[in-house]
Each structure stands twice: as C-alpha cells, then as structure tokens.
Amino acid sequence: MRAILLGFALGVWWLQQQARLPDSVVWLACCAWFVIALALGIVRPRWRTGFFTIAACALGFAYAAMRAEARLHPPLPVEYEQRDIELTGFVRGLAEHRADGTRFVFEVEANGAGLREFPRLVRLLWTANGRANANVPAPPKLLAGERWTLSARLKRAHGNANFGLRGTEVILLERGIRATGYVSLARSPHRASADATGPLLTIDRMRARVRERIEAVLGGAAHRGIIVALAVGAQDAVSDEDWAVMRATGTSHLVAISGLHIGFVAGLAALICGFVWKRMRLRGTPAPLIVAAPKVAAFGAAVFAAFYAALAGFNVPAQRTLWMLLIFAVAFLCGRRPASSLVLLWALAFVLIADPWAVTAPGFWLSFCAVAAILYAIAAAGRIESKAQARDEADIDEWDRTDPSEVGQRPESSGTRRPPPAVAARFCHFLFTRMRRHVASGARVQYAVTIALAPLTVYWFSQIPLLGPLANVFAIPWISVLVTPATLAGLLLPAPLDAPMLHAAHAALSILCDALARLADSAPSSLWHLPRPDACALAASCVGIAWALAPRGWPLRFAAPLTWLPLLAPAPHPAAHGAFRVTALDIGQGSALVVETARHTLLFDAGPGPESTHAGERIVAPYLLAAGVRALDTLVVSHSDSDHAGGAPAVLESVAVRQLLASLPAKDALWSGARARGAQTLRCAAGQRWTWDGVEFRMLWPEPGPLAGKPNHQSCVLKVTSATGTSALFTADIEADVERALISREDEALRADVLIAPHHGSRTSSTEPFLDSVEPRAAIFQVGYRNRFRHPNATVFARYGLRAISLSRSDEDGAARIDIGSEIVLERFRQTHARYWMGR
C-alpha cells in the first residue's frame, strides 16, 4: 500500500512538471498504461505491488490533469483586460488591510460584460489612491460574505517568471484565482443588503471576528501580528522586524499554524476530554463504562484539531496534521493501530486529492519531509527505545512491589537478601531515567529535522540558519507550552475574560522575541547563504540523510556528510574568460540586469522597491542568492526613478556591495546607505572604463558635471564588450535627445549585438537613427504585464521587428538570459521552463 500511495503522489507531481496539459494521444496512453498495469497486477500476484504502483502513478497523473483542466477554465478574455467591468459578488477569505489599500478575493456571481463564462474568483486591490475628490470613500474593512456591486479593471492571472525562483502564477492557480486587478472608482461601489452564506464563509467570518478581537485587545503591541498569525493563520500583520529576527534564527515556521501547533492542541484536547469523561456519570453509570475514555479522547482531539485547522485556513501543514489525526482517530475507534508511515502516506494522498498543486509549494515538502525524517529516525532507534522502555517498566513494577513497611528496616542477620533502597531514591532514579530518555528522544528528533530540512531550505530559500537548532530548542516548547495555549484560551473565553489571556500570550511572546533578537545580534552572520542546488546535489543529499539517520551499526555512517558536499560547492561560473552572461530579470515594470563574467558580478539597476511591487526584496535579492552571488563587485543605479533604484536598499541589505556607481542627486539617501555598509561610491560619467576577466566595461553617458534636467536625461549608459568583440548596450531610460547626443559624440561606440531597449520601449526613445547606429541582433524589453504606461509602444516594437532583430519581452517571455562570447545565445524562461499554467 505504501508503494501505491507513493505512486499516486508521483503521478500528481509529474503532471505539475508538464509544459502543456495532455492531449487526446496522451490521454489514451495514460488510460492504456493504467489498464495494462492493473491487469498485470491481477494476473501476476508476484509483481502485484509494482504493477499497482504504476497504475496508481497513471491515476494520479490523470486526476491532476482533470483538476487542472477544470481550474484553468474559464479564463478572462483578452479583449476584456484593463476594461471597466461591473462585478457583483461577495468577499472570500480574510481581506489584507495594507497601507496602500485592501486586498481581497472576490467571488463573482454576475458580470456587467454579459459573459457566460467568466472567472469565478478574482483578486482585487481597493485603494484610495487617485480619488478625484473627498466625497469618494476610503477603502472599507471588508468581511467575508459581504456582497458588493463594484467596477473593476482586470487582467489575466500573471506572475513574474525567473530562473531559480518560484513563480507566482502557480500560487494564484492553487487558490483558484484566474484574474487580478483593482477596484475602479469610475463608479461608486454599492454594498448589497443580503450577505452570502455557506460553511466556508462561516469559518472565514469567525476568523475575521477573532482577528478583530485580538487587534482590539492588543492594539499597537509590538508582536501583535504573531499572535494574529498563531490564532487565524494570517501573516500579513507580522512586522518586518519580527520576520528578520525569525529568518535569522530559523524560527519562521513557528509563526504559521503548523502541524506542531495543531498536534499540541489535539494532545491537550485529548487530555482534557479524557480527564472530564472519566469523572462523568450518565444516568448513574460511569461514563467510561459506556464509551471508553481513550476513544472519547481521540474523538475530542480530532474535533479540536479540525477547529484549529479551520482557523488556519486549511494550509498544507494543517491539512497534513489533520488528516493524520483523523486517520489515527478512526483507526483507534475501530480497534486498529496503523503504522505511522502508512498514516503519513494516506495523509499525503488526501492532501494531493484536495490540492494537486500543493507539490509546488515549499510548505508541502518541508512539512512532509520533516515528519518522514522524524518517523525514520524513531524507527531507526526503535530497538534501543524498546529496551530502555522495558527497563523503565521493570523499575516501575519493582517500585510498585516495594512494601513501605520494609523501608528503613535492617536486614536479618541470617538472611542474604538485601533490603530495597529507599522509595524516594528509587523514585528519583525513575524520574531521572525517564527525563534522560525524553531529552535524548527530543535531541534525536531535532537532529533528524535539522539535517533533513537543510537541503530543502537551501533549494527553496538559498540559505541555512545556523542558529536554527539552538533557537528551536527553547522556541518550540516556549511557543507550544506558553504562547499557543494562552492564545487559544483567549479565543475560547468570552470578553472580557479573553483580554488577560491574550496579554499573557503577548508577554510570553515578547520574552521569546527579545531572546531571539539577542541571539541573532550575537551572531550577525548566522545565515549561511548557498546557491540553489541542482537535482543531482539534492539526490546525493537525500541519500546522505537516510545514511546519517540509519540505525547504529550501519556501515560507514560517519561518511554520510560527504554526500552533502555538492550542496556546499560554489555556483559554477556562468561564463568563460573573455565572455559574459546577462540576465534580464522579470520584475514587472522596471529594470534589473545581472552581468556575470568568469569571476565578477555587476547589477545594473535593482527594480522597484516598497513604493511599488517590492521587486528588490522579492526577486532581485533572492535571485542573486540563488545564483550564488554573495557579493556584487559593482551596483549600477542608472538614475533615481523608483522602478530602477527602489530595490537598491534591499540589495544592499542582502548581499555585500563593493562599489556603488550611480547617477543620483547628491542628497539621495542611497549614497549614505551604501557608504554605511562599506561600499565605495562613485558617480557615473562618460569615459569611465575597467576590465574584468577579459571583458571591457565602458560608460558612455552621462556627461561629467552636475546633474541637470530630468532623471531620464542623466541615465547611466553602459557598454560591455567581450574579448571577441561581441557586446551589449545598457541604456536605462534615455530618450530621443540623449540618443542624438550619443550619436553625435561616438557613433561607432554605440554598435552592439545586444540592446536593452531604452526606456522600456516608450515612444520617446529607440529612434530610427539610434537603431541604425547600434545595429543590434537581439533586443530585450523589460516591461510589466499590461502596464499602465502601455510599454512597449506598438510603433516602436514594430520598428524593432522590421529590422529582423530577435526580441524578448519580460511580460511574455519572463526572464531572459543571454550568453555573449564568440556566439550569442538567447534563452527565454517561459520557453525553456514552460509549465501548462503559464499564459493561461
């Protein structure tokens, strides 16, 4: 059965790796695969497990494909993108109340476009920006189930697609969101009198009421967001300072309502239910004589676990724990005791049946692999545990048989039998033995989880928190024993009795957060950044984990760390000596380009910052870490526009920067921020040259002297030339007047094989004379999907197309990677890493 369940999971995972959904031929092959494997398993009992596993794999693939077909339809018609459409529907889930407005999921019941097929779920942002007058109301605090009629501008579900990073489109697909947009103020939104109803909406309303109550009680408390996250699973209120401390100490998992919390709640509920049931009498009969107390405890544990998982919004770790508890409870009520590994695999199957896209989420892998490692480690040490437990039970039996009247008596002179030791000494020995065994078991579990999740942490987050094992030793019990029970008591008690418990939870949490902050400050380099490993390195590390956690006596266990060496290997050089690679990141509307030579790295612009899409911290910095870039030799900030410079502070905080080369006003905070982190600062000026690994870098613009005119006119223009003469030209946001100035100054210097289109392809740039001077063979447009500037301009884009230039635009192709040496190789992410949900 274990192999069959794993086969089903493998089939679901395999579907999520496909570039397109199965066509009729693939469906026929899949059906044939299933039928043949099933038939062979029936007629060949000796090979039944193998054939049934193959059939389960085909079944998982087909099931995931059917779910994907249903989820992808209906899409938003292209012709209705960015048009005002009147929508009638209701709010789903918890709305995120942010500084720039309210983000929420809206279930559409009717649309003003009259379309019979329309996306059922859309994600909207209701913001007050751009209000024409004070009569337009500010965004309200939306609650689940509220029915509204409003006007919205939508676009298809689209996300950034970059090398080494998880895309956001699959996240939207997993949540069933097929369009995103914002509430248009062309028409005033109207609240309907009748709210929507349903079981899920009831849960959402309950979560919203709990959140409001916590916020009302705690007010502006420093760690209020963590209490909210522990109560209802909403993490948007957690402060940046708390996130930074938890990431540095490896305790971020404690913020989510994870399996650990739900398991603790279930255990506490089982203890309470069993205690109460043993003392109840029904019509004069003791309740345990009607139904055994352990069965009542199991039922109570399952009910409370389901309640807490509902508060968490049924995230993947919560689902995993809930399914495991339900399976254990049902089996126990039926008088059976299934193996823990089988329960885990059944939970795996149920989670994937409910959510086939869970296999694309880090939480899925971290949750299931952590539990699998714990079970494997416990099973490996099972023989030793059994012997220790047998000794403890023998001690208990001997202690119970001790006659208290014999304590303190002297032995008979004629007898050889010595009296038993004192009861107190024996009891202390028993407590010490049990405590030692529990400490050893806890240490073994922590060791197993640490080494099992390290490769996954590197793969998903490109880092290992070295303080994680130490911090979790006291953080996990502190949260589980003090903070979580007090929070739950605050949820269950009526007002005003809930306030003291919530304040107590926050006080305990404050002590923990202060301790974690001091721990993080004591080791500022506690985060070990590593490049994202490939499949071979991950496979080798998995073998090493199984090897290290094997039972005592397993041959060469000391050699297991050797299998982890590929994880520690530095990232391979992307370019040979004299060549270079350019990666144009997909950051939406903005610019961020990474230039790598054999031993040096330059970042040209850092994308938007907190004022827009947070691309600097969401995409640019994580990409650098995933690529193994621990230090930038030079950070070039072409000019002060936020879509080019906004992400620079996030980059400075994440990686070391040796030099800042920028065209910024003298009073710009970026200068002082870079110098504070030890970077040299220098203003861009035409004529600057340097060489790295046989590759020449030459600044063509701006002219030396004080800045004049608007920022676009002072943009840094950089040309990078390989040893073979092939080159790339980075033009930032220059416009026609600067293009003419460059042509008049150094026409020949403009010639380049790869051109980063000026000003994202706006109509004020890429003039005919400029393109004649550059004569590019390839051009890259960094633009946002359906951006409000309508970049690239249709006429300008056609101008490039008429010249037979290879084109790539980030809104259609995702990130672009160009290897420039003796030849030019252009790779478009959405082509080489295509998945069936991209562009749908």
* pLDDT of 473 higher than 90: no
Q: Which of these, 676, 722, 724, 665, lies nearest to 696 by C-alpha position? A: 722
Which backbone phi and psi does 379 adopt, to 5 degrees?
A: -65, -40
What is the distance between the alpha carbons of residues 332 and 338, in angstroms, rounded to a whole number?
9
pLDDT value at residue 387 = 54
* Residue 799 CB burial class (10 angstroms; 0-12, 13-18, ≥19): middle
Torsion (CA) 227, 229, 234, 235 in degrees, nearest 10: 100
* pLDDT of 391 higher than 60: no
* Residue 20 CB burial class (10 angstroms; 0-12, 13-18, ≥19): exposed
CA 454, distance to chain mean position in Å, is 15
Task: Supply angle C-alpha 1, 303, 206, rounded to 5.
Answer: 125
Q: Which range among 5-9, 151-155, 237-241, 629-633 shows the weakest confidence by mean pLDDT?
A: 237-241
Provide mean pLDDT across the span 43-49: 81
**Residues 788-815: pLDDT tens digits?**
999 999 999 999 999 989 999 999 999 9
- DSSP labels, 695-720: EEEEEEESPSSS--S-GGGG--EEEE
Where do the structural domains in the chain lie, given as residue ranges? Answer: 2-72, 78-196, 201-238, 255-337+347-357, 580-832
Q: Does domain 580-832 have CATH number 2.60.40.10?
A: no
pLDDT value at residue 399 = 46
Is residue 251 within 8 Å of 516, Cβ to Cβ? Answer: yes
Q: Which of these, 550, 646, 544, 539, lies nearest to 590 by C-alpha position? A: 646
Q: Which of these, 125, 117, 30, lies nearest to 77 by C-alpha position? A: 117
Provide mean pLDDT across the span 21-31: 90
Q: Which residue has the higher pLDDT, 470 or 606?
A: 606
What is the distance between the alpha carbons of residues 536 and 697, in angstroms, rounded to a whole number?
36
User: Cis peptide leading into 769, omega within 30 of 0?
Assistant: no
Q: Which range among 513-527, 598-612, 629-643, 770-784 shows the weakest confidence by mean pLDDT?
A: 513-527
Percent over 70 (pLDDT), the chain: 93
* pLDDT of 315 higher than 60: yes
pLDDT value at residue 76 = 93
Q: Where are the beta strands (DSSP E) in 509-592?
A: 527-529, 580-584
**pLDDT grade for 385, boundaries at 50, 70 and 90:** low
pLDDT value at residue 394 = 54
**pLDDT grade for 411, boundaries at 50, 70 and 90:** very low
Q: Which range among 236-240, 504-508, 531-535 shows the weakest confidence by mean pLDDT?
A: 236-240
**Residues 329-367: pLDDT tens digits?**
888 888 888 888 899 999 999 999 999 999 999 989 988
pLDDT value at residue 193 = 85
Is residue 679 within 8 Å of 635, Cβ to Cβ? Answer: yes
pLDDT value at residue 358 = 94
Q: Which residue has the higher pLDDT, 704 or 718?
A: 718
pLDDT value at residue 134 = 44
User: Cis peptide leading into 555, omega within 30 of 0?
Assistant: no
pLDDT value at residue 137 = 62
pLDDT value at residue 416 = 47
pLDDT value at residue 405 = 45
pLDDT value at residue 477 = 85
Provide mean pLDDT across the span 211-231: 89
**pLDDT grade for 413, boundaries at 50, 70 and 90:** very low
**pLDDT grade for 826, boundaries at 50, 70 and 90:** very high
**pLDDT grade for 295, boundaries at 50, 70 and 90:** confident
pLDDT value at residue 380 = 67
Q: Where are the beta strands (DSSP E) in 676-771?
A: 680-683, 689-692, 695-701, 717-721, 727-730, 754-756
- HEC string of 19-51? CCCCCHHHHHHHHHHHHHHHHHHHHCHHHHHHH
| 450-461 core/surface letters (b: 16 or more CB in 10 A; e: else) | bbbbbbbbbbbb
User: In the numeric block, which tokens belong to residue 386?
Assistant: 């059994």
pLDDT value at residue 407 = 42
Is residue 789 within 8 Å of 762, Cβ to Cβ? Answer: yes
**Residues 415-424: pLDDT tens digits?**
444 455 566 7
pTM (2 d.p.): 0.89
Q: Which residue has the higher pLDDT, 308 or 691?
A: 691
What is the distance between the alpha carbons of residues 763 and 639, in angstroms, rounded to a whole number?
19
pLDDT value at residue 360 = 93
Average pLDDT over the chain, rounded to an integer: 87
Helices (H) and strands (E) in the chain, counts: 30, 27
**Residues 108-167: pLDDT tens digits?**
999 999 899 999 999 999 987 544 344 556 788 899 999 999 999 999 999 999 999 988
What is the distance between the alpha carbons of residues 183 and 187, in angstroms, rounded to a whole number?
9
Q: Which residues contact 163 (CB under 8 A, 6 or more apart)?
A: 583, 623, 626, 627, 815, 817, 829, 833
pLDDT value at residue 389 = 54
pLDDT value at residue 440 = 73
Q: Where are the beta strands (DSSP E) in 53-173?
A: 84-98, 101-111, 121-126, 147-156
Q: Which of these, 48, 17, 62, 60, lies nearest to 349 by C-alpha position? A: 60
* Residue 409 CB burial class (10 angstroms; 0-12, 13-18, ≥19): exposed
**Residues 624-669: pLDDT tens digits?**
999 999 999 999 999 999 999 999 999 999 999 999 999 999 999 9
What is the distance between the alpha carbons of residues 454 and 488, in angstroms, rounded to a whole number?
31
Q: Which residue has the higher pLDDT, 24 or 671?
A: 671
Could you tell me which CATH class the domain 78-196 is placed in? mainly beta
pLDDT value at residue 778 = 97
Provide mean pLDDT across the span 577-603: 96
* pLDDT of 488 higher than 60: yes
- Residue 72's region, left for phi above 0, alpha for psi from -120 to 50, else beta, is alpha
Percent over 90 (pLDDT), the chain: 51
User: In the numeric block, which tokens belong to residue 354?
Assistant: 């409910």
**pLDDT grade for 409, boundaries at 50, 70 and 90:** very low
* pLDDT of 450 higher than 80: yes
Provide mean pLDDT across the span 166-189: 91
In DSSP terms, 603 is beta-bridged to 594, 635
pLDDT value at residue 472 = 86
The H or E element spanning position 285 is: strand 285-286
**Residues 545-574: pLDDT tens digits?**
888 888 877 887 778 888 888 888 888 888
Q: Which residue has the higher pLDDT, 577 or 705?
A: 577
What is the distance between the alpha carbons of residues 687 and 701, in angstroms, rounded to a whole number?
8
* pLDDT of 400 higher than 60: no
